[in-house]
Amino acid sequence: MDDHHQLINGVAGRNPETNKITALIVDDNMVNQTIHHRLLHSLGIENQVVGNGKEAIDVHCSGKIFDLILMDLDMPVMNGIEATRKLRAMGIRNTIVGVSSRSVNEHIQEFVEAGLDDYQEKPLTISKLLSILRKVRNQAEL
Amino acid sequence: MAGLAAQLQRQLTDYTTSLFNEGFLDDQFNQLQQLQDESNPDFVVEVVSLFFEDSERLLNELATTLVQQDIDFKRVDAHVHQLKGSSSSIGAQRVQRVCIPFRNYCEEQNVEGCLKCLQQVKHEYTLVKNKLETLFKLKRQLLAAGGSFPM
């Protein structure tokens, strides 16, 4: 755990006591929701889980804001492409990372163009997450 | 007691190794084990139980969808995609692998190919489910015998 905290502080350059990174997990699959929640938690990142793109929009409409959004692609009600477009249209500038089991060359261009900062193929791992957190830091510095 | 724990420990190590060697599990399963700690001692069992529930729902839906007159291949593909996603998330490698040709047959709208893959994926799922249940049983026995396993 200590290593993870050191990593996260080094990567994100924030004091976990006063300025914790927050994340939103957008995924319809319970297995992935549980793993991603636990992965982020193990790195000291507070996070909330919603089940589709529409719910991600609703959470933002209620005034919540997250440093990082992990967005699945294929979901019922509203998919990741539409949700990402809508969030960007709402003026959300925080890091949105597409996370899907589609390989990079499998129709993800449209997803990236909807406004992603990064794309990672599932399964998500600690090392992939650390690479994502570097982007969050870069985004925060811009 | 100590002798029994040591014996179970060895058995557990050998069994785990065999699951990786035979390709039932891949490194993603190790990732899950690393996420388990004192604050979350049942994490792996919880996630794997969710995987069982999810897979059984999807396999039933696939079986129903594939016997209909006008098969909705988009729906079949969406289910296989889900199964591929959750099996890769827990490291059930052999289940995940069958999903690849399965999705190709969906794209070709090849009913026979899809049905063949459904049988294969059911078979692989049943195998890995039994293996994981045996693994968890060994862990429970080891804990009961006063042993511990590395997290």
In degrees rounded to 5, what are phi and psi of residue A119? Answer: -135, 135
Least confident of A6-20, B13-27, B92-106: A6-20
**Per-residue model confidence (pLDDT) at position A136:** 87
In this prediction the pTM is: 0.87
CA distance A102 to chain B (A): 9
Of A1, A32, A126, Cβ closest to residue B31: A126
Q: Which two tokens stand for residue A123?
A: 């399964």
What is the rounded distance in angstroms from the CA atom of residue A49 to the CA atom of residue B93? 26
**Per-residue model confidence (pLDDT) at position B38:** 87
Of B35, B43, B82, Cβ closest to residue A29: B82
**Per-residue model confidence (pLDDT) at position A105:** 72
A46 and B CB contact within 8 Å = no
Please, what sign has the CA dihedral across residues B131, B132, B137, B138? positive
**Per-residue model confidence (pLDDT) at position B25:** 98
Confidence label for A8 from pLDDT (cuts 50, 70 and 90): very low
Inform me whether the pLDDT recorded for A55 exceeds 50: yes
**Mutation site for B-interface testing, chosen from A43, A101, A128 by largest number of B Cβ within 10 Å:** A101
A23 and B CB contact within 8 Å = no
**Per-residue model confidence (pLDDT) at position A25:** 98
Cβ pair B96, B87 in contact under 8 A: yes
CB pairs under 8 A between A and B: 54
Inform me whether the pLDDT recorded for A107 exceeds 80: no
Greater confidence, A107 or B44?
B44
Confidence label for A101 from pLDDT (cuts 50, 70 and 90): confident
Mean pLDDT computed over every residue of chain A? 86
Inform me whether the pLDDT recorded for B131 exceeds 50: yes
Mean pLDDT computed over every residue of chain B? 94
Contact criterion met (CB < 8 Å) for B28 and A125: yes
Confidence label for A10 from pLDDT (cuts 50, 70 and 90): very low
Inform me whether the pLDDT recorded for B44 exceeds 90: yes
pLDDT digits 0-9 by tens, A24-40: 999 999 999 999 999 99
CA R_g for chain B: 18
Greater confidence, B103 or A142?
B103
Query: What percentage of chain B has pLDDT greater than the value 70?
Result: 97
Residue A38's closest chain B neighbor by CA?
B35
A127 and B CB contact within 8 Å = no
**Mutation site for B-interface testing, chosen from A31, A106, A108 by largest number of B Cβ within 10 Å:** A31
Mean pLDDT of A75-99: 96
Mean pLDDT of B95-121: 97
Q: Which residues of B touch A31 (CB under 8 A)?
A: 47, 50-51, 54, 85-86, 89-90
Q: In sequence order, what are the beta bridge partners of A49?
A: A25
Inform me whether the pLDDT recorded for A15 exceeds 50: no
**Per-residue model confidence (pLDDT) at position A137:** 82
Inform me whether the pLDDT recorded for A16 exceeds 50: no
CA distance B75 to chain A (A): 12
Residue B91's closest chain A neighbor by CA?
A123
**Per-residue model confidence (pLDDT) at position B102:** 97
Other beta carbons less than 10 A from residue A10's beta carbon: 12
Inform me whether the pLDDT recorded for B33 exceeds 90: yes
3-class DSSP assignment, residue A1: coil
Instruction: List all residues 6 or more positions away from A11 whose beta carbon is below 8 Å from its beta carbon.
Output: A130, A133, A134, A137
Q: Which two tokens stand for residue A73?
A: 């692609």
Confidence label for A7 from pLDDT (cuts 50, 70 and 90): very low
**Per-residue model confidence (pLDDT) at position B110:** 96
Mean pLDDT of B70-90: 94
CA distance A106 to chain B (A): 12
Contact criterion met (CB < 8 Å) for A101 and B32: no
Inform me whether the pLDDT recorded for B151 exceeds 60: no
